[in-house]
Protein backbone atom coordinates (compact mmCIF):
# COMPACT_ATOMS: atom_id res chain seq x y z
CA UNK A 1 0.00 0.00 0.00
CA UNK A 2 1.33 3.42 -0.89
CA UNK A 3 2.16 5.91 1.81
CA UNK A 4 2.76 9.62 1.85
CA UNK A 5 6.51 9.28 1.38
CA UNK A 6 6.05 7.28 -1.84
CA UNK A 7 3.92 9.99 -3.49
CA UNK A 8 6.18 11.21 -6.28
CA UNK A 9 4.82 14.77 -6.14
CA UNK A 10 6.01 15.13 -2.52
CA UNK A 11 9.67 15.72 -1.76
CA UNK A 12 10.49 15.77 1.97
CA UNK A 13 13.23 18.02 3.30
CA UNK A 14 14.63 18.02 6.83
CA UNK A 15 14.59 21.55 8.20
CA UNK A 16 15.95 21.84 11.75
CA UNK A 17 15.16 18.10 12.08
CA UNK A 18 11.51 18.67 11.21
CA UNK A 19 10.13 17.35 7.95
CA UNK A 20 8.84 19.80 5.34
CA UNK A 21 7.26 18.60 2.11
CA UNK A 22 7.85 20.35 -1.18
CA UNK A 23 4.76 20.23 -3.40
CA UNK A 24 4.53 22.40 -6.51
CA UNK A 25 1.21 24.14 -7.04
CA UNK A 26 0.58 22.51 -10.40
CA UNK A 27 1.17 19.06 -8.85
CA UNK A 28 -1.62 19.38 -6.27
CA UNK A 29 -4.30 17.53 -8.32
CA UNK A 30 -2.00 14.56 -8.99
CA UNK A 31 -0.90 14.48 -5.35
CA UNK A 32 -4.53 14.54 -4.18
CA UNK A 33 -5.37 11.61 -6.46
CA UNK A 34 -2.39 9.65 -5.13
CA UNK A 35 -3.19 10.39 -1.49
CA UNK A 36 -6.83 9.35 -1.91
CA UNK A 37 -5.76 6.18 -3.73
CA UNK A 38 -3.31 5.29 -0.94
CA UNK A 39 -6.17 4.19 1.30
CA UNK A 40 -4.57 5.78 4.35
CA UNK A 41 -5.37 8.52 6.83
CA UNK A 42 -3.35 11.47 5.52
CA UNK A 43 -3.08 14.66 7.54
CA UNK A 44 -1.97 17.85 5.79
CA UNK A 45 -0.55 20.58 8.02
CA UNK A 46 -0.20 24.10 6.64
CA UNK A 47 2.76 25.15 8.74
CA UNK A 48 4.13 28.47 9.93
CA UNK A 49 7.38 29.12 11.71
CA UNK A 50 5.76 29.07 15.15
CA UNK A 51 4.53 25.55 14.40
CA UNK A 52 8.19 24.60 14.05
CA UNK A 53 8.99 26.14 17.42
CA UNK A 54 6.03 24.34 18.98
CA UNK A 55 7.26 21.05 17.50
CA UNK A 56 10.67 21.59 19.07
CA UNK A 57 9.06 22.05 22.50
CA UNK A 58 6.26 19.49 22.33
CA UNK A 59 7.02 15.85 21.58
CA UNK A 60 3.42 15.05 20.65
CA UNK A 61 3.25 17.85 18.11
CA UNK A 62 6.63 16.85 16.69
CA UNK A 63 5.26 13.34 16.15
CA UNK A 64 2.17 14.85 14.52
CA UNK A 65 4.30 16.70 11.97
CA UNK A 66 6.46 13.63 11.40
CA UNK A 67 3.43 11.62 10.30
CA UNK A 68 1.77 14.43 8.31
CA UNK A 69 2.30 16.09 4.96
CA UNK A 70 3.78 19.42 6.07
CA UNK A 71 3.40 22.26 3.57
CA UNK A 72 5.04 25.61 4.36
CA UNK A 73 2.97 28.77 4.62
CA UNK A 74 5.54 31.07 6.24
CA UNK A 75 8.22 32.64 4.10
CA UNK A 76 10.54 31.96 7.04
CA UNK A 77 10.19 28.19 6.56
CA UNK A 78 10.94 28.43 2.85
CA UNK A 79 13.98 30.58 3.66
CA UNK A 80 15.13 28.10 6.32
CA UNK A 81 14.90 25.23 3.83
CA UNK A 82 16.95 27.17 1.29
CA UNK A 83 19.46 28.20 3.97
CA UNK A 84 19.96 24.67 5.31
CA UNK A 85 19.07 22.35 2.42
CA UNK A 86 19.83 24.51 -0.63
CA UNK A 87 16.26 23.83 -1.76
CA UNK A 88 13.29 26.16 -1.49
CA UNK A 89 9.92 24.40 -1.18
CA UNK A 90 6.83 26.02 -2.67
CA UNK A 91 4.83 28.08 -0.18
CA UNK A 92 1.09 27.63 -0.05
CA UNK A 93 -1.40 30.37 0.71
CA UNK A 94 -4.03 28.45 2.74
CA UNK A 95 -7.08 29.68 0.83
CA UNK A 96 -5.52 29.12 -2.60
CA UNK A 97 -4.29 25.68 -1.58
CA UNK A 98 -7.75 24.70 -0.41
CA UNK A 99 -9.35 25.92 -3.64
CA UNK A 100 -6.95 23.73 -5.64
CA UNK A 101 -7.58 20.78 -3.32
CA UNK A 102 -11.36 21.12 -3.56
CA UNK A 103 -11.16 21.57 -7.32
CA UNK A 104 -9.18 18.33 -7.64
CA UNK A 105 -11.77 16.51 -5.55
CA UNK A 106 -14.67 17.98 -7.52
CA UNK A 107 -13.16 16.83 -10.82
CA UNK A 108 -13.54 13.22 -9.61
CA UNK A 109 -16.88 13.87 -7.85
CA UNK A 110 -15.31 13.08 -4.51
CA UNK A 111 -16.63 13.94 -1.05
CA UNK A 112 -16.04 16.22 1.92
CA UNK A 113 -17.07 16.28 5.58
CA UNK A 114 -17.11 19.62 7.44
CA UNK A 115 -16.20 19.72 11.12
CA UNK A 116 -16.01 22.88 13.23
CA UNK A 117 -17.34 26.40 13.51
CA UNK A 118 -20.64 27.75 14.81
CA UNK A 119 -23.96 26.56 13.31
CA UNK A 120 -24.51 29.72 11.23
CA UNK A 121 -20.95 29.71 9.91
CA UNK A 122 -21.18 26.02 9.02
CA UNK A 123 -24.39 26.57 7.05
CA UNK A 124 -22.77 29.43 5.13
CA UNK A 125 -19.74 27.28 4.31
CA UNK A 126 -21.94 24.48 3.02
CA UNK A 127 -23.94 26.88 0.84
CA UNK A 128 -20.80 28.47 -0.59
CA UNK A 129 -19.20 25.10 -1.33
CA UNK A 130 -22.33 23.83 -3.08
CA UNK A 131 -22.40 26.95 -5.26
CA UNK A 132 -18.68 27.03 -6.03
CA UNK A 133 -18.04 23.28 -6.31
CA UNK A 134 -21.34 21.73 -7.42
CA UNK A 135 -19.66 18.42 -8.24
CA UNK A 136 -18.27 18.05 -4.72
CA UNK A 137 -20.38 15.81 -2.49
CA UNK A 138 -20.88 17.07 1.08
CA UNK A 139 -21.51 13.86 3.02
CA UNK A 140 -21.77 15.29 6.52
CA UNK A 141 -21.09 18.15 8.88
CA UNK A 142 -20.86 18.84 12.60
CA UNK A 143 -20.30 22.06 14.49
CA UNK A 144 -17.31 22.76 16.68
CA UNK A 145 -17.32 23.64 20.38
CA UNK A 146 -19.02 20.34 21.11
CA UNK A 147 -19.03 18.40 24.36
CA UNK A 148 -16.70 15.48 24.94
CA UNK A 149 -19.69 13.13 25.14
CA UNK A 150 -20.51 13.53 21.43
CA UNK A 151 -16.98 13.02 20.08
CA UNK A 152 -17.49 9.27 19.65
CA UNK A 153 -20.59 9.98 17.54
CA UNK A 154 -18.60 12.38 15.35
CA UNK A 155 -15.90 9.78 14.77
CA UNK A 156 -18.55 7.19 13.91
CA UNK A 157 -20.20 9.59 11.45
CA UNK A 158 -16.87 10.21 9.71
CA UNK A 159 -16.12 6.49 9.47
CA UNK A 160 -19.55 5.69 8.06
CA UNK A 161 -19.58 8.52 5.50
CA UNK A 162 -15.98 7.76 4.38
CA UNK A 163 -15.25 11.27 3.04
CA UNK A 164 -12.24 11.84 0.84
CA UNK A 165 -11.57 15.09 2.72
CA UNK A 166 -12.37 16.23 6.25
CA UNK A 167 -11.99 20.00 6.59
CA UNK A 168 -11.58 20.94 10.25
CA UNK A 169 -12.16 24.44 11.58
CA UNK A 170 -12.54 26.35 14.84
CA UNK A 171 -13.87 24.68 17.95
CA UNK A 172 -12.30 21.25 17.43
CA UNK A 173 -10.19 20.45 20.49
CA UNK A 174 -6.40 20.40 20.01
CA UNK A 175 -6.57 21.44 16.34
CA UNK A 176 -3.96 19.51 14.34
CA UNK A 177 -3.50 17.10 17.24
CA UNK A 178 -7.15 16.03 17.00
CA UNK A 179 -6.33 14.09 13.85
CA UNK A 180 -3.18 12.44 15.18
CA UNK A 181 -4.89 11.48 18.45
CA UNK A 182 -7.80 9.83 16.63
CA UNK A 183 -5.91 8.48 13.63
CA UNK A 184 -6.79 4.85 14.41
CA UNK A 185 -10.50 5.74 14.69
CA UNK A 186 -10.79 7.62 11.40
CA UNK A 187 -11.59 6.40 7.90
CA UNK A 188 -9.04 6.71 5.11
CA UNK A 189 -8.91 10.14 3.53
CA UNK A 190 -7.27 13.56 3.69
CA UNK A 191 -7.62 15.63 6.87
CA UNK A 192 -6.83 19.35 7.00
CA UNK A 193 -7.26 21.64 10.01
CA UNK A 194 -7.34 25.30 8.99
CA UNK A 195 -9.47 27.80 10.91
CA UNK A 196 -8.35 30.56 8.54
CA UNK A 197 -9.94 28.85 5.53
CA UNK A 198 -13.08 28.08 7.55
CA UNK A 199 -13.43 31.77 8.38
CA UNK A 200 -13.01 32.80 4.73
CA UNK A 201 -15.56 30.27 3.50
CA UNK A 202 -18.01 31.41 6.20
CA UNK A 203 -17.47 35.05 5.12
CA UNK A 204 -16.17 36.04 8.54
CA UNK A 205 -12.87 37.34 7.14
CA UNK A 206 -11.29 38.27 3.83
CA UNK A 207 -9.06 35.83 2.01
CA UNK A 208 -6.01 38.06 2.38
CA UNK A 209 -3.74 39.73 -0.12
CA UNK A 210 -1.65 37.55 -2.42
CA UNK A 211 0.83 40.40 -2.78
CA UNK A 212 1.26 40.57 1.00
CA UNK A 213 1.65 36.77 1.11
CA UNK A 214 4.36 36.78 -1.54
CA UNK A 215 6.23 39.45 0.41
CA UNK A 216 5.93 37.50 3.65
CA UNK A 217 3.66 40.14 5.20
CA UNK A 218 0.54 37.99 5.47
CA UNK A 219 0.86 38.03 9.27
CA UNK A 220 0.13 41.78 9.47
CA UNK A 221 -3.71 41.62 9.41
CA UNK A 222 -3.66 39.07 12.22
CA UNK A 223 -1.27 41.28 14.17
CA UNK A 224 -3.63 44.24 13.81
CA UNK A 225 -6.55 42.15 15.09
CA UNK A 226 -4.49 40.66 17.92
CA UNK A 227 -1.74 43.13 18.88
CA UNK A 228 -0.39 40.86 21.61
CA UNK A 229 1.04 38.65 18.86
CA UNK A 230 3.90 41.14 18.69
CA UNK A 231 5.27 39.09 21.60
CA UNK A 232 6.11 36.41 19.04
CA UNK A 233 9.05 38.58 18.04
CA UNK A 234 11.23 37.08 20.78
CA UNK A 235 10.51 33.44 19.81
CA UNK A 236 11.21 34.46 16.21
CA UNK A 237 14.67 35.67 17.19
CA UNK A 238 15.22 32.27 18.82
CA UNK A 239 14.06 30.60 15.59
CA UNK A 240 16.66 32.59 13.63
CA UNK A 241 19.37 31.78 16.18
CA UNK A 242 18.61 28.05 15.95
CA UNK A 243 18.70 28.31 12.18
CA UNK A 244 22.20 29.76 12.37
CA UNK A 245 23.31 27.05 14.81
CA UNK A 246 22.08 24.30 12.48
CA UNK A 247 23.93 25.91 9.57
CA UNK A 248 27.22 26.52 11.38
CA UNK A 249 27.42 23.09 13.04
CA UNK A 250 25.80 21.24 10.11
CA UNK A 251 23.27 19.58 12.41
DSSP bridge partners of 107: none
pLDDT digits (tens, 9 = 90+) for 16-70: 999 999 999 999 999 999 999 999 999 999 999 999 999 999 999 999 999 999 9
DSSP bridge partners of 69: 44
Percent of the chain with pLDDT over 70: 95
Rounded average pLDDT over 171-190: 97
- Pairwise CA distance, residues 27 & 69, whole Å: 14
- Pairwise CA distance, residues 51 & 74, whole Å: 10
DSSP bridge partners of 22: 11
Report the predicted TM-score, pTM, of the whole model to 2 decimal places.
Answer: 0.93
Q: CB-based burial of residue 167 (10 Å sphere; 0-12 exposed, 13-18 middle, 19+ buried)?
A: buried
Distance between start and end Cα atoms, the chain? 33
Rounded average pLDDT over 151-168: 98
pLDDT digits (tens, 9 = 90+) for 95-113: 999 999 999 999 999 999 9
Rounded average pLDDT over 186-209: 92
- Pairwise CA distance, residues 130 & 125, whole Å: 9
Amino acid sequence: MANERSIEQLNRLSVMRIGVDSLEHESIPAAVDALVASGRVTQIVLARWWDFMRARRKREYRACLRDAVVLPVSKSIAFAARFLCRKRPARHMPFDFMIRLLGALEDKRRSIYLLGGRPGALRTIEQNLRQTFPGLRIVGRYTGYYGKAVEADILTAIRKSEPNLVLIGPGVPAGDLWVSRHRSELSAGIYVHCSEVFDVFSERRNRGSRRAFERGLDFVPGLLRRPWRVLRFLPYLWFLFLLLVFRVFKL
